[in-house]
Amino acid sequence: MARPAKDIVPIIGLITGATFGIGGTFVASDALRQIFWGIDGVGVIIATTLLAIRSFRNGDDIVAAGFLVFALGESLLVSGTPAGLDASVPSFGGGVALWSAGLLLVSLPNVLPPAVRVVGVTAAALFMVVAARIFSGEHLVPTSSPLPFFAYPILVLTFIGWITTLLRRN
């Protein structure tokens, strides 16, 4: 039996986001990075918005709000991406702050499997540190190391957890 579109579209969006997000971090060309991150952002916004609707219909209002807050954070990131790494810092800081809040709202309620929740909370904590550092005046670009650079794989693990949960629920 074919998987319903309500599952396929968010899964494709999360895979697209993870692939192009990490890929954009490693490309040398500024223009190519911005294109990759634009594709990444649109995929993640579509996926998390659809997951919000699904969660809301299931009666999981806090989780639904978390996916929406995450989508709002992603939209800030997308809005700053064309400006380049240095000029995107303000929207990047606001975006990762919303990512952190969204991840907490999705991960704290006892809705997702425990391992997925732990990874989500870990990603939220790492991006909370990044946001706090930017809001305190530090100039962190999206490729700065160790953070946020090493927080992205944790976020991708969270996406994998969301995908796995979708696949197992049907």
Among the listed residues 72, 78, 130, 128, the one whose alpha carbon sits nearest the alpha carbon of residue 104: 128
**Domain span including residue 61:** 5-168
Model confidence at 3: pLDDT above 70: no
Decide: 166 and 11 in contact? Cβ < 8 Å.
yes
Model pTM score: 0.95
pLDDT digits (tens, 9 = 90+) for 103-156: 999 999 999 999 999 999 999 999 999 999 999 999 999 999 999 999 999 999
- State the number of CA atoms in the 13 A half-sphere of 68 facing the CB: 11
* pLDDT (0 to 100) of residue 51: 97
Among the listed residues 38, 26, 20, 126, the one whose alpha carbon sits nearest the alpha carbon of residue 84: 38
pLDDT digits (tens, 9 = 90+) for 68-115: 999 999 999 999 999 999 999 999 999 999 999 999 999 999 999 999
Query: Would you call 142 helix, strand, or coil by DSSP?
Result: coil
* pLDDT (0 to 100) of residue 169: 80
* pLDDT bucket at 7, cuts 50 / 70 / 90: confident
* pLDDT (0 to 100) of residue 63: 98
Q: Bigger pLDDT: 38 or 5?
A: 38
Count of structural domains within the chain:
1
pLDDT digits (tens, 9 = 90+) for 29-66: 999 999 999 999 999 999 999 999 999 999 999 999 99
* pLDDT bucket at 5, cuts 50 / 70 / 90: low
